[in-house]
Amino acid sequence: MKHTVVLTAAFPAVARQLLAGEFDVIEHPTEHGRDEDDMIAILAEADAAITLLSDPLTRRVLASNPHLRIVANFAVGYNNVDVDAARELGITVTNTPGVLTEATADLTLALILATTRRIVEGDAEIRATGRCEWEPLKLLGLSLQGRRLGIIGMGRIGTAVATRARAFGMEIVGVRRGEPLDELLETSDVISLHLPLNATTRHIIDAAALSRMKTGAVLINTSRGPLADEAALCDALERGHLSGAGLDVYEDEPEVNPRLLAMSNVVLLPHIGSATIEARTAMATIAATEVLRFLRGEKPRHAVV
């Protein structure tokens, strides 16, 4: 009897192409806001699953189907998975590292430029007025040359961002996980977050950290929303301590804080850090190949559990 592989969303076609020849594949449409009961129903027939970062893979969900043997998370992160439960239940968990580094680094630079040069504000003005009126003091932004970029998390993506920023003449100060942030917070003109989300990194940028940032600094987050205390960030933006922020991720996804929506100096993107054809295809290839290898009795290459 064929194994059943469940795809919890509409993934690039390569995922089905790799799996359909050997296994029964059940595909579900992409949906937001799924709860545990939704996931239990979706995974009821699964021997293996390719899942989204937004899918809650709690102990209850993982334990609901004794036939579930592998979860291939379509992401680098896996904070949606109860890894302790997976380990205890003998369920392998894999991720998709490496292939989204360049796409996410590109988007980080795009957010830095869009925020410091007020690109979204300019676009909105043109669309609202239908006119392009040059003025000496209109939409003055920050030049990147000679500015200091503080990178919190000098892994693959953080390092790729540093390479790009140096080409714009920026000075780089970077810290790895667990290293002190004092100098970085106090001296950086732009701070970019590139950490996984866990108990030690949640709200690493809190009210105290924000208060230590330079007046007029910019915060960029293309990593995980809860790395920053969003309420404290809104406070810092509203009182003018920070000049702007560029965000691709949010603390309560899929919801976005209404205070952020009201700020013209904040650039907001819908979690598209890896959204290039090349990166998403590579992610689907890795996830499907991990499932393929596992169900053939081979060892996955990117197991986190």
Catalytic residues, by residue number, are 224, 253, 271
Q: Which residues of 265-294 are buried (b: 16+ CB within 10 A; e: fewer)?
A: bbbbbebebbebeebbbbbbbbbbbbbbeb
Q: How many CA atoms lie within 13 A of 193 on its CB side?
A: 28
List the one residue out of 36, 50, 216 whose CA is nearest residue 140. 216
What's the CA angle centered on 97, arms 10 and 34, to 5 degrees?
A: 35
Whether the CB-CB separation of 267 and 114 falls below 8 Å is answered with yes
Whether the CB-CB separation of 43 and 69 falls below 8 Å is answered with no
